[in-house]
Amino acid sequence: MMMTAPQRTIRVWDIPTRVFHWCLPVALIALFVSADTYAMELHALVGEAVLALVLFRLVWGFVGSQTARFRDFVVGPRGIADYLAGRAPKSLGHNPVGALMVLALLGALLGLAVSGLFADDGIFYSGPLAGRIGNAQAVRIGELHAAGAYVLAALAGIHVLATLWHLLHRKRNLITPMLTGRTRTELDAPPPVFVGLPLACGVFTVAVGVVTLLLHGLTF
């Protein structure tokens, strides 16, 4: 009779990663609702906040806690193939397929946030940097920005469905650990290494400063 390893509860996600994760769905709902109701000032404000959040997460992916770092979960095609074939060891944080979703969401969010700065729909909205480029280019970017919103919505939907699939099919709850920061695991591995909150606050402050300088420094 095969004995299963006893489970233990360990900390897996730090506070900055969890705050970032849960800020995004709130921001996305606000973005889609504001766009649908033509509350474009709110839309722009939330978009700028998302840009600061994404910049923070990109930097945090290099200097943050172990499970937040890209090198901890981003692997090449062979690593993904090994994971899908069941040959890769289990991980505490994101798995290789989940890493693809993380990168896709960050890329889509960054693209939409930046394009929104230059977008012009010709009626309701003109981005703070739209005047830096020609009107035709700004309108074209506005069209791409609107189309990209559907891509982002599709990615978010796939992410939610994948989370539910893990919960219902594989009996692995990915939601609670992202709320509490802790998970139960049978893996006999040392706990992840965590970085203190002061560094996260510093990184976020710099991200907000970059966005502020980008907007106010270039719009004068």
Which domains, and CATH codes, for the chain?
A: 15-218 (1.20.950)
Among all chains, which residue has been given the structure tokens 């230059």? 118
**Predicted local confidence at residue 123, as pLDDT:** 80
In sequence order, what are the beta bridge partners of 57?
none
Mean pLDDT by 10 residues, the chain (220 residues): 64 96 96 93 94 98 96 90 80 87 96 94 85 90 94 95 88 89 82 93 96 74
Grouping H, G, I as helix, E, B as strand and the rest as coil, residue 168 is: helix
Is the separation of the CB atoms in 97 and 123 below 8 Å?
Answer: no
Helix axis angle, 96-118 relative to 135-168, nearest 10°? 160
Is the separation of the CB atoms in 212 and 122 below 8 Å?
Answer: no
**Predicted local confidence at residue 2, as pLDDT:** 43
Which strand (E) or helix (H) includes residue 10? strand 8-11
**Predicted local confidence at residue 51, as pLDDT:** 97
